[in-house]
Structure 1
Amino acid sequence: MSPRIRGLHAARAWLQARPLAADALLAFGLLLVGLPQLFLQELPDGEDFAAFRSPDVWNGLLVVVVTGALAWRRRHPLPVLLFIIGGEALTAALQYPPAVPDVVAFLIAVYSVAAHRGLAQSALGGLVAFVYFLAYLLLMLPLSSEPVVVITDSALVVGVWMLGRNLRLRRAYFAELEDRAARLERARGTDARAARIEERSRIARELHDVVAHHVSVMTVQAGAARRIIDRDPGSAREAMSTIEEVGRTALSEMRRIVGVLRTDRDAEQAGRELAPQPGLGDLGELLDHVRETGLSVQLWIEGEARSPSPGVDVAAFRLIQEALTNTLKHAGPQARAWVRLYYGDDDLTVEVEDDGRGTATFMADNGDNPGHGLVGMYERVALYGGELRIGPRVGGGFGVRARFPLEA
């Protein structure tokens, strides 16, 4: 871009930021062109101009004052129009001929009141301007006011007013589009914040499930190792190995879950850290970890096993994990647990039951304010349109039964 064009753009931006200065320059330009013409031109011969006085200093001052009012045309368009009409009426009353700057200033004022004010003020200003202009033609220049001249000159005033009105409507339309785009952008920002909050809540539940399960397993193993370390060091070392393995697994899953909160990692590292979420395919490994704590767990699968949707797969696994964790916490050392999967035509039913003594303890610990585990269960199942029942089972113990649609 050449320096000249850059200078023009800078000057335009400066004038747009300072409308008063821009309008003052407009009035000055009109006076610069019109005043010399006012004093140098000769009035035409004819009866219409015979009664006019020759331009003098007072005429020039009137023209300067009337045209100079354009400096406030955007801030106060209707008062400026009325002032210009009054100035031109005074000029006509003093029998001075019409000046080009006054006529142009009048048309610009008509345009300004239509372009910068609402319908009520612009209509009022247009009506006053039209009546004044028509009266001026018929009263001050009666002999030259032929029907064609009156119609064309009146059409000019109406056309200027309509031009200003159309430009105002166009500006209002684009302003509405910009405002709508801004509202949509704010709405997207609000939705994004809500999604981030929901995602953080989900991650918090995931962290609770992971930590609660693995810490429960590690606690049971550590207690077993403490009891048998003197009489059976080999089994104690095996329990210690299990604790180490479970701890590493917990750290790995925590790193994987918390990893989604990081925003400044590189893609290659992210690919190594973010492994897939566990699902029902990992159920065997989960049950092996639980059995290593001493809890007897059996698994039954009925129906034609099919792969559920990814979300249902994770939710079902986490529900089983949470239920077995509660069994480890509350069922007692001699308890047994059963995990059943029923694959129906359109749904998957998951049951986790135990015959322990943890029902009263589990319910009493939570009271009217159930822990995060129960809340997480209900939220997970409800998220995918399923149903959940939790409570004591017939014959003693505790049971969790959830039904998921295979397609969430």
Structure 2
Amino acid sequence: MSALPRRRARRVAGTVLAWCGAALYPGVLFLTFSPPRFPGEVAVLLSAGLTALVMALLRRRPLAAHGILLFAWIVALMQTRSGTIAGLEILLTDLAVGYIAAARERRISVPVAAVTCVLQVLSVLAWLSADAVLHVTVVLAMAVTWMTGNSIRARRAHTEMLREQATAQAVAAERLRIARELHDMVAHSIGIIAIQAGVGGRVIGTQPVEARNALDAIEATSRDTLSGLRRMLTALRRDDPGAAPLGPAPGLADLDRLAAATMDAGVEVEVRRVGEPRPLPPDVDLSAYRIVQEAVTNVVRHAGTDRCRVTIDYRDEEVAVEIDDDGSGGVVGTGYGIVGMRERVVLLRGDFTAGPRPGGGFRVAAKLPLPAAVA
């Protein structure tokens, strides 16, 4: 017999033995409190062990185990007519009701609590000389036990709901991040490709060298975009054991390459760095690069100028990014470029401004705090 069937057979045998012991529990309890037929210590130990067994079975079959427990102690109370036994009956059955209230819905726990309380009161009334105060105490004990268990169930359900909401928010944030990455990457690259294709189409008959340069730029930009898309899809498939990153995410160190690609599109990008360049946290580095990329793309598309300036200011507690031009276009339409840049900065708890310059042109400025400053 293999290991799996053997374990399954042991588990089935253990379950059968446990329920056989539970079925014997009322009889053992009855004999324990009857005139001695075997040593008292053995009877007490056996009853205690079977009581623990039945309480443990509440986890698997709470209603069946509770029924056995209630029946057994009612029989014991009928046999002994003892206040101590009545107290044990109420204590153990109340604990079982509390567990059922914590583990099951109200439509199940409320009838169980009501039936148990009625049987407790009737058994006390039938076999004990009890006054009304004891009956009220039994009812109040059941009410408190049920409310405690029900509050545990409600708190657990609320915690689960909050966990599901947090998961949904995380999924939405991840989708937004992916959409932002795709927009920044594809919009910039397609803009460069469209401009280069237009240039190549106009000069292909008269200036074949320029047309070839335009085609080379289109090829290089397309390869970079394809590599970025593959890297993003690989990240989305990171649960696949065979998936591996295809390259690092871009950052401010790649601005010179971005400037060269934009130069091929007819816009010269002047990159100026203030302060001492240093490694930045990956999220800050990527966001700063994407902001520059999107702003430069807007210059290429809308500004109507052949120059723009990019300033990266490395400060003690933040990195400041500024892109400005002297054109006349600015950002038009209902695109998502400015919105995406603003969302990136807000997620990093920074400051973002974008708008026309007083002397003409357009400026995009962002301040991205470093983690130590945020903390």
Give the CA deviation at 1:348: 1.8
Counterpart amino acid of residue 270 in structure 1: A
1:379 correspondence with 2:374: no
The corresponding residue for 1:325 is 297
In 2, are the aligned partners of 1:74 and 1:116 still within 8 Å (CA)? no
Deviates more, 1:249-258 or 1:319-328: 249-258
Write the deviation string for residues 163-210 of structure 1: whole angstroms up to 9, x where unpaired.
Answer: xx89x97x9989987886676565444423322221121011001000
In 1, are the aligned partners of 2:326 and 2:362 still within 8 Å (CA)? yes
* 1:270 alignment partner, one of 244, 251, 273: 244
Deviates more, 1:307-316 or 1:280-289: 307-316
1:284 correspondence with 2:261: no
Match of 1:230, SS state, is coil
Pair 29,115 (structure 1): closer, same or farther in 2 beyond 3 Å: closer
The gaps in structure 1 that reach 5 residues or longer are 17-21, 38-70, 85-99, 136-157
Give the CA deviation at 1:338: 0.9
* 2:321 alignment partner, one of 342, 350, 354: 350
The corresponding residue for 1:241 is 216
1:390 correspondence with 2:354: yes
The corresponding residue for 1:336 is 307
1:103 correspondence with 2:79: yes
TM-score norm. by structure 2 comes to: 0.67
Pair 13,280 (structure 1): closer, same or farther in 2 beyond 3 Å: farther
For residues 90 and 294 of structure 2, the distance between their equivalents in structure 1, rounded to whole angstroms, comes to 72
* 1:310 alignment partner, one of 282, 288, 296: 282
The gaps in structure 2 that reach 5 residues or longer are 1-5, 38-63, 98-112
Pair 113,387 (structure 1): closer, same or farther in 2 beyond 3 Å: same
Counterpart amino acid of residue 357 in structure 1: S
Give the CA deviation at 1:8: 5.2
The corresponding residue for 1:293 is 265
For residues 149 and 120 of structure 2, the distance between their equivalents in structure 1, rounded to whole angstroms, comes to 25
Pair 392,127 (structure 1): closer, same or farther in 2 beyond 3 Å: same
Pair 14,400 (structure 1): closer, same or farther in 2 beyond 3 Å: farther
In 1, are the aligned partners of 2:255 and 2:271 still within 8 Å (CA)? no
The corresponding residue for 1:97 is none
Match of 2:283, SS state, is helix
Pair 4,394 (structure 1): closer, same or farther in 2 beyond 3 Å: closer
Pair 250,404 (structure 1): closer, same or farther in 2 beyond 3 Å: same
In 2, are the aligned partners of 1:114 and 1:122 still within 8 Å (CA)? no
The corresponding residue for 2:46 is none
Pair 105,375 (structure 1): closer, same or farther in 2 beyond 3 Å: farther
Match of 1:358, SS state, is coil
State the structure with more CA Rg: 1
Counterparts of residues 173-184 of structure 1 (less than 5 Å) = 184=159
Pair 313,263 (structure 1): closer, same or farther in 2 beyond 3 Å: closer
In 2, are the aligned partners of 1:315 and 1:380 still within 8 Å (CA)? yes
The corresponding residue for 1:217 is 192
Counterpart amino acid of residue 220 in structure 2: E
Counterpart amino acid of residue 250 in structure 2: P
In 2, are the aligned partners of 1:339 and 1:352 still within 8 Å (CA)? yes
Pair 381,102 (structure 1): closer, same or farther in 2 beyond 3 Å: closer
Give the CA deviation at 1:264: 4.7
Match of 2:244, SS state, is helix
For residues 65 and 359 of structure 2, the distance between their equivalents in structure 1, rounded to whole angstroms, comes to 91
In 2, are the aligned partners of 1:393 and 1:399 still within 8 Å (CA)? yes
For residues 389 and 72 of structure 1, the distance between their equivalents in structure 2, rounded to whole angstroms, comes to 67
TM-score norm. by structure 1 comes to: 0.62
Pair 266,7 (structure 1): closer, same or farther in 2 beyond 3 Å: closer
Pair 403,255 (structure 1): closer, same or farther in 2 beyond 3 Å: same
For residues 10 and 327 of structure 2, the distance between their equivalents in structure 1, rounded to whole angstroms, comes to 89
In 2, are the aligned partners of 1:320 and 1:352 still within 8 Å (CA)? yes
Counterparts of residues 32-47 of structure 1 (less than 5 Å) = none
The corresponding residue for 1:10 is 16
For residues 365 and 256 of structure 2, the distance between their equivalents in structure 1, rounded to whole angstroms, comes to 19
Counterpart amino acid of residue 370 in structure 2: L
